[in-house]
Amino acid sequence: MQTKTYFILFIMLSLAFTGLTSCGLDNDSVDTIQEPTKPVAANLKCDAQIEQTDYTFFKMTLDGRRVGDLMPMYDEASNKFFIYYLKDIWNDVTHQRHPWYAFTTDDFSSFENISSEIIGSSSQGCEQDYAIGTGSVIKKNNTYYGFYTGHNPNFPSGCVDKKEGIMLATSTNPNSRFTKNPSFSTIYAPKGLQFDEQDNFRDPYVFEDAGTFYMLISARANVGGIWKGVIASYKSTDLLSWNYNGILYHGDSNNYFMMETAQIFKLGATYYLVFSDIGSRRVNYRKSSSLAGPWVLPTGSEFLDGNNFYAAKVVSNGTKSYIMGFTSQQEGNVDSGNKIWGGNLVVHELIQNSNNDLELAMPSSFSTSTQIGVDIKVNRTTGTTEKISNEDESYQLISTSSNISNVIFEPIDAPRYIIATTVSYTDSSKDFGFFLGACDANDNVFSLRFVPSEHKIRLDKTKRSLLTTNTVSDNEVFMNLKPNTDYNVKIVIENSIVVIYVDDKVALSSRVYKASNTSWAIFADNSKATFKNIKVTKP
């Protein structure tokens, strides 16, 4: 085994369990809040807001903890969505390590927290579940089966020779503590079949198809001489005894180190396989007409959202489907900080289009719950701008030289709000879109931008003067962009979370500490773009 690479990757990729390295074993500080550094020479308002913990849409816990891997389940009995999650606790006073907690919701814009722990870690250093990892809950015959990862960070030691195994806890009530089932034999990687038999065996996802239960497990194996991340499959008829059922997917020509939190769900006649690539931190998906595969790429982009929407899972109540992941916090709660494990729940409505690709839309409850119009005030304009309507906030921006044209607006003084507009362009050799946290009119800004030459929606925190065609974005999604086409844009901002939806097809979720309550703008750079009927609403 490539122990070294593997160790370095383990540190670098801020995996679920590198909570360890980021927090340190004794550092159990609740995630509040440091003064960000003040920008120099701010003539507009661009100070990062001090990070808040009161999130309505992008839920975290009320006691200031972040959430990790989401494990949603729709509960028919109560007609509610239960969202189990790993709570960002690493060895607190009660020695919990990533225990499961839960929220419930009807509509994803308001949540109830369940204050009691659902599954806790063992206090015994030799037990497999000395720390708890991701899993899934399925209901059968009035019992809720919670399959979870037992992860022992003491591996390797005299009493711990496998770092991860799959365990079971059950309950008759989805919102109270599950009882661990000691008679369930922990599932470890199958022996003698070229798996990593000591580590990397986690994230069980259990589903039923045609009367049989299947469990997906994220693992690593030697496939034809190459070590790679694989998704192993197990089968059961009673949820208690499981038989190895082969490797369901090994990434085909890709070599993912780990395909984490894999899930299969079915919409219509199509099966979807979703997994989170630990390397790129992106959620990928594949389609198939059969559980047996082949798992093919979608027609459009294989990614759902960008690089800050991780460990995503889908849930459906039979009429609507949703996908949720977590958007990481950054060290020190500043835009320059490294991403660290744990963040806020971000949810999109999941829509199957006519070619069976998946699209991401803003949950409709967000617009029904943000009905109060906020007056928007222009602070100043730069370059060639024209207000094209007396009735509403509509502008045409023309930039033909190296000069940017923009309209800069006064900060929106609200913890959560939605900016909506319809954007189109006639030509664009560079970019257009929005500035967030604008310190000045054209350089020290964050650009949330349409880049037609790349067919991308990008977030760039890089100053405009340093942006080149080689700049690596902070976050991006693909979208086929065409001139003379209306794009419906919604930007949901809640404290430091910014999610942009374009045409309710594509979503990009990011952490932007400078976004809230700061100067913002619409802009065009070497482009001719129109922004129609700009509206801001809040709850």
The nearer residue to ligand NAG, 196 or 349, going by C-beta atoms, is: 349
Both tokens assigned to 9: 């990757």
Q: How far apart are the first and last CA of the chain?
A: 53
- Give me the least distance between CB of 529 and ligand NAG, in Å please: 17
d(CA 221, CA 214): 19
- Give me the least distance between CB of 88 and ligand NAG, in Å please: 15
Query: Which stretch, 44-52, 118-126, 293-301, 496-504, contacts ligand NAG (CB under 6 A)?
Result: 44-52
Q: Is 536 a binder of ligand NAG (CB under 6 A)?
A: no
d(CA 198, CA 164): 7
Q: Which of 92, 107, 127, 503 binds ligand NAG (CB under 6 A)?
A: 107
Q: Is 338 a binder of ligand NAG (CB under 6 A)?
A: no
Q: Is 92 a binder of ligand NAG (CB under 6 A)?
A: no
Within 448-507, which residues bind ligand NAG (CB under 6 A)?
A: none
The partner residues of 111 in beta bridges, in order of sequence, read 105
Q: Are 531 and 392 in contact (CB under 8 A)?
A: no
Q: Is 238 a binder of ligand NAG (CB under 6 A)?
A: yes
DSSP string, 237-290: SSSSS-EEEEEEE--TT---S-EEEEEEEEETTEEEEEEEETTTTEEEEEEESS
Within 348-387, which residues bind ligand NAG (CB under 6 A)?
A: 379
The nearer residue to ligand NAG, 288 or 379, going by C-beta atoms, is: 379
Q: Which of 239, 360, 420, 529 binds ligand NAG (CB under 6 A)?
A: 239
Counting residues that bind ligand NAG (by CB under 6 A) gives: 28
Q: Are 539 and 522 in contact (CB under 8 A)?
A: no
Where is 22: in which H helix or E strand? helix 19-23
Q: Is 76 a binder of ligand NAG (CB under 6 A)?
A: no
Q: Which of 428, 444, 510, 517 binds ligand NAG (CB under 6 A)?
A: 517
Q: Is 401 a binder of ligand NAG (CB under 6 A)?
A: yes
Q: Are 511 and 343 in contact (CB under 8 A)?
A: yes
Distances (CA, A) of 527 to 426, 482, 487: 8, 13, 16
* Residue bearing tokens 């949720």: 324
Q: Which of 235, 320, 535, 538 binds ligand NAG (CB under 6 A)?
A: 320
Query: Which stretch, 109-117, 155-163, 326-334, 421-429, contacts ligand NAG (CB under 6 A)?
Result: 109-117
Query: Which stretch, 128-136, 216-224, 242-250, 408-416, contacts ligand NAG (CB under 6 A)?
Result: 408-416
State which amino acid sits at residue 526: N
Q: Which of 25, 62, 126, 297 binds ligand NAG (CB under 6 A)?
A: 62
Extract the runs of DSSP E, i.e. beta strands, from 370-478: 372-374, 378-382, 384-387, 395-398, 404-409, 416-436, 446-451, 456-460, 475-478
- Give me the least distance between CB of 364 and ligand NAG, in Å please: 8
Q: Is 45 a binder of ligand NAG (CB under 6 A)?
A: yes
The nearer residue to ligand NAG, 441 or 457, going by C-beta atoms, is: 441
Query: Which stretch, 6-14, 407-415, 425-433, 500-508, contacts ligand NAG (CB under 6 A)?
Result: 407-415
Q: Which of 27, 79, 390, 470 binds ligand NAG (CB under 6 A)?
A: 79
Rg (CA), the chain: 24
Q: Which of 3, 269, 318, 391 binds ligand NAG (CB under 6 A)?
A: 318
Q: What is the contact mask toward ligand NAG in residues 132 to 151, using x (rule: CB under 6 A)?
A: --------xx----------
Where is 329: in which H helix or E strand? strand 321-330
Q: Which of 3, 183, 319, 469 binds ligand NAG (CB under 6 A)?
A: 319
- Report how far Cα 489 is from the mean position of its chain's Cα atoms: 20
Our CA angle for 64, 70, 73, nearest 5°, is 120
The nearer residue to ligand NAG, 196 or 494, going by C-beta atoms, is: 494
Q: Is 526 a binder of ligand NAG (CB under 6 A)?
A: no
Q: What is the contact mask toward ligand NAG in residues 289 to 308, using x (rule: CB under 6 A)?
A: --------------------
Distances (CA, A) of 4 to 9, 15, 24, 260, 487: 8, 16, 21, 20, 47
Q: Are 368 and 415 in contact (CB under 8 A)?
A: no
Give the footprint of ligand NAG on this chain (CB under 6 A): 43-45, 49, 62-63, 79, 107, 112-115, 140-141, 238-239, 317-320, 379, 401, 403, 410, 413-415, 517
